[in-house]
Amino acid sequence: MLRVFAWTIAATLAACSGAAASEDVPEPQETAPVAKASGARKASGARRVDPQTERGDGPLAISRPRLDKVLQAGPGWLLSQVPLEPVRDKSKKFLGYRIISLFGDDPAVLRFGVLPGDRLLSVQGQRIVVPTDLLHVFQRLRNDKLLQVRVMRGDVEKAFAWPILAAGESLPLPQAPSPTAPVVPELEEKPDFGGP
């Protein structure tokens, strides 16, 4: 189960890129696993990462072609890139999985906001408890146009959502208001407040 779960998370994060396809995130290939991230580690085993990590220029998106390549590469490659560990409370109740590292804690991946040490709550709105939960997520990732991930960072829940863009597709630019359009549209009918 851990293996399939790690595959899902890694697939989503590995497919991350800027608004246009980017070479920042490694392509899946037959290579040796990434060495474990160096640096100081918390008691949980997660590497300390500066929460002010560079987020990149402009909005972030996921490349559909890259996501498809990652999904096709399979769980073995992804597990070598995104190790996870189960998290349990004092009574041994399963709480989810903690992310140990993301592609050697590459800043190009960390700019998407999910960090080592985060506890995964859900992907695509699906809480992952049993392997069949993952099957639903896998099915949706092949067709969804928005990737949604919820994590717990310390005592704070964080939600992330990134558009999944087809080859050549880019994020739409924000529309500026027309110089001739009123800032507040006029009401076509005046409301009746019950007065004389």
**66-101 pLDDT, tens digit each:** 888 877 776 667 667 878 888 999 999 988 889 999
User: Can you tell me whether residue 84 is helix, strand or coil?
Assistant: strand
The pLDDT of residue 2? 55
- Assigned token pair, 188: 């076509």
Please tell me the CATH superfamily of domain 2-23+57-165, with its number.
Answer: PDZ domain (2.30.42.10)
Which residue ranges make up each domain of the chain? 2-23+57-165
Indicate the pTM of the whole model: 0.62
Separation CA 21–CA 165 (nearest Å): 9
Residue 148's alpha-carbon distances to 2, 16, 81, 140, 144, in angstroms, are 20, 12, 20, 11, 10
Residues lower than pLDDT 50 in the chain: 17-24, 30-57, 187
